[in-house]
Structure 1
């Protein structure tokens, strides 16, 4: 898919597309394939979150579920590597609107977008409490955490012994678990 398209056309085409595509204000962008390391870390993130919130009021989603971001002048659809929501959309939807936690594993091919427009758009989601940007080649996670007084505070967690508190969803995320089997050493 290329060029301008409507949200309805994008969502319809994405149901049968061979690969994943992100949508930014009418423009559709094919997502690149990712390394086994990237997919291992993303899979760990989802598995950990799914296990920790299972049976409670939160629900985890993997990278097959889009997040819709409704900005004043356009919509965006991204595929985060993992997310947790408190108020999930209807089961028939193909996206979520209110993630509380979003995890993006960086890659060289997407780094510029991940740290630019995509990060900025995620931080505009009113329900979002925590955005985690995960480095794939070292045990380092940059966390953007919503402050009670407004805005986001930035934290850096590094080393396999580190753990990220996620009080917002009543758990924590160990970097040793996140990077398990990803070939990362301290």
Structure 2
């Protein structure tokens, strides 16, 4: 994340101004952070994952969004809007104009500038969502991925060796699928 704007703004102001902002911005407890552009490997990885997700989401009545759908995370004293690289929704939609609140799968593609935030603050926030069944972290600089998966007894982390089954869609995703055409 980049440096925050020097003053806090309201949620209403953020949502109103985000629609016309020339850059995507995430909202963290009143502070707004501009989002940097993505590298070629990052974009290819996102496209490759979407290519696997889209047929599965269509056949199950779900939706998969790449990079431009906000996810709202809120709890007492905390309000955040993030732009995950990919978000999958399988629950009925209410108002899609602002943000999703019930994703079942979130994918973040790690880069040098986002790695620390995606592994800490965002991970904590996403894993607090009752609807979330999986949080997939994919490295854009090395051939590596890990999946946080909700089990009845809590969260577990699977290091993807070759292939992983994505929760909520119950489909396989391989490292070969993720990194097809990506030179690292």
TM-score normalised by the chain length of structure 1: 0.90
C-alpha displacement of 1:127: 0.2
1:51 & 1:94 partners in 2: Cα distance? 25
Do structure 1's residue 153 and structure 2's residue 156 form an aligned pair? yes
Task: Check conservation: 2:109, 2:139, Cα contact below 8 A.
Answer: yes
Task: Check conservation: 1:6, 1:26, Cα contact below 8 A.
Answer: yes
Q: How does 1:32-111 map to 2 (within 5 A)?
A: 32-90=36-94, 92-111=96-115
- Structure 2 residue aligned with 1:138, among 127, 138, 142? 142
Q: How does 1:105-184 map to 2 (within 5 A)?
A: 105-149=109-153, 151-158=154-161, 162-184=162-184
Q: Which residues of structure 1 form unaligned runs of 5+? A: none
2:32 is paired with a residue whose SS is strand
**52-61 vs 107-116, which deviates more?**
52-61
TM-score normalised by the chain length of structure 2: 0.91
Deviations 1:72-129 (A, max 9, x none): 2121111111111111533542311101010000010111111111111010011000
Report how many aligned residue pairs link the two structures. Answer: 180
C-alpha displacement of 1:57: 2.6
Deviations 1:5-31 (A, max 9, x none): 111111111111111111111010001
Given the superposition, is the C-alpha separation of residues 180 and 134 from structure 1 closer, same or farther in structure 2, using an over 3 Å criterion?
same
